[in-house]
Amino acid sequence: MDRPAMTAWPRRLGWTALAVGVGATALFVPPLVLPDGRGGLPDGRGVAPDGRGDPPAATAATPPPAPSSALPRTAAPPSPTEKPSPTATPPPAARPSSGPPSSGAAVITLHAADPANLRSGARVIECPTCVGGSRVGYIGGPNTLAIRVAGVTTAGERTMTVTYETAETRTLRVAVDDGPAQTLTLSGARDWLIPATVSIRVHLPAGTSWIRFFNDEGPAPDVNQIQLR
């Protein structure tokens, strides 16, 4: 026997019931969690490839130590070894003179040809072997020589050494100012170019005085210089 054809009403009712059931199921069943476009969970943490959950947090790299602002300390160079200062060597002690003892007065040396002296008729003569390169000659008769002595602080006896030249024996007279004269007979080296010396004692006053050289009776030796001690 043929089944009667179903009407459109019952078919609509069935579709409606199906839609109601699906809606009720959606109310009680939680929605499926779908992956986001980045392949991880909705919170962005992702899923580990081995399924064990979140991957371990990456260990932060230890930052390198900040460079010190101070420059590296350089070892100080060794201090130079101080050299001992040289010790001054004291000068050798003065050796005592083998000559005659000094009276304590300064030695006075005077040249006969000095312009400060007085020459009356006597003349300056060149002499390569004499002290100072000259001497005073032509003394005798009316010609005289007077040597000026200045700066004597204390009056007293002095030793006077006369340097002279003569080629023959001659007489020389010596006086201080207007005092008594001493007469000397001198032969010397008997050569006008070889000096000779003679020493006598004279009394010098303090201050300035004049020592006169003359010979009233004839020519006298030439005079180069005198020294007073």
Locate 126 and state its tokens: 């060149």
Q: Which position has the higher pLDDT, 152 or 28?
A: 152
Structural domain boundaries in the chain: 108-228
User: Given pLDDT bands bounded at 50, 70 and 90, which one contains residue 25?
Assistant: low
- Number of Cβ within a 10 Å radius of residue 119: 18
Distance CA 227, CA 110 (A): 6
- Number of Cβ within a 10 Å radius of residue 139: 26
What pLDDT is recorded for position 106?
A: 83
pLDDT tens digits, one per residue of 153-206: 999 999 999 999 999 999 999 999 999 999 999 999 999 999 999 999 999 999
> Is there a contact between 224 and 161 (Cβ–Cβ < 8 Å)?
no
Domain 108-228 sits in CATH at: 2.60.120.260
What pLDDT is recorded for position 93?
A: 40
Q: List the beta strands (DSSP E) in the chain.
A: 108-111, 118-120, 123-126, 134-137, 144-152, 156-166, 170-176, 182-186, 191-204, 207-214, 222-228
For residue 60, how far is the Cα from the chain centroid? 66
> Is there a contact between 212 and 146 (Cβ–Cβ < 8 Å)?
yes
Nearest to 199 by CA among 179, 157, 228, 169: 228
- Please name the amino acid found at residue 147: I
The torsion angles phi and psi of 28, rounded to 5 degrees, stand at -100, -20
pLDDT tens digits, one per residue of 59-92: 444 555 554 444 445 444 545 455 544 444 444 4
pLDDT tens digits, one per residue of 133-155: 999 999 999 999 999 999 999 99
Query: What letter would DSSP give residue 89?
Result: P
User: Given pLDDT bands bounded at 50, 70 and 90, which one contains residue 118?
Assistant: very high
The whole-chain average pLDDT of the chain stands at 75
What pLDDT is recorded for position 14?
A: 57
